[in-house]
Amino acid sequence: METLKEIIVAQNELQTKADKKKAMGIKYREACEKIEKQAFWMRAILEPLAKLIQEKRGYYSYEISGPFGLGARASMKFFVTKEAEEMGITDNTECHRLEVEPTSKEDPTKQNKYNHRMSLSLVDYTINTGQYSSGSLGGWNGFNFPVVDAEDMTLDDILEFMDKQNA
């Protein structure tokens, strides 16, 4: 039979393990919240844009993933059919893509150190500048492909750009 002291020690060990797991959970949740705050533009800008594109083109569904790499680029995939989505088909006939990158622009209405605002650029995969070698950080992060400012583009302009990327 266990002594009371052994039971208390065992219970304290269990409590310590539970406290550590709880702390890990809190740290994980805080990290997730921090990431969500940093990538707010994906919910605030990309979700509404993807819905507009889906409605205009009649895509079955869409998927937004990212941000990835040094440029914090995000990928938007639009599935033409239910089968394409279910089977994960991503060729250009069944899945159309648009890759975006958040950018910062000066806001002339603000005359302080916080004079920048969020904007969005589209990644142009039809042009490869070759500036970075394939094994470099720039090459790995897709910086050989220039970005095009999308702030003043209409939905039709964005769809035309997207068609060129998926041709």
* Cα atoms in the Cβ-side hemisphere of radius 13 Å centred on 142: 18
Rounded CA gap, 126 and 76, in Å?
17
- Indicate whether 34 pLDDT > 80: no
List, for residues 42-60, the tens digit of each pLDDT value: 877 888 889 999 999 988 8
Rounded CA gap, 141 and 91, in Å?
21
Q: Would you kindly state where each structural domain of the chain is located, as residue ranges?
A: 1-38, 40-165
Q: Which long-range contacts (CB under 8 A, 24 or more apart) does 49-57 make?
A: 49/76, 49/158, 50/76, 50/78, 52/155, 53/78, 53/98, 53/155, 53/158, 53/159, 53/162, 54/78, 56/155, 56/159, 57/96, 57/159
Extended strands (E) in 9-149? 61-68, 73-79, 95-106, 116-123, 147-149
Pairing outcome for strands 147-149 and 95-106? unpaired
List, for residues 70-123, the tens digit of each pLDDT value: 888 999 999 887 776 677 666 666 788 999 998 877 766 666 656 666 788 999
- Give percent of the chain with pLDDT exceeding 90: 22
Rounded CA gap, 32 and 20, in Å?
18
Rounded CA gap, 101 and 148, in Å?
9
What pLDDT shows up at residue 1?
45
**Which one-letter DSSP state was computed for residue 21?**
H
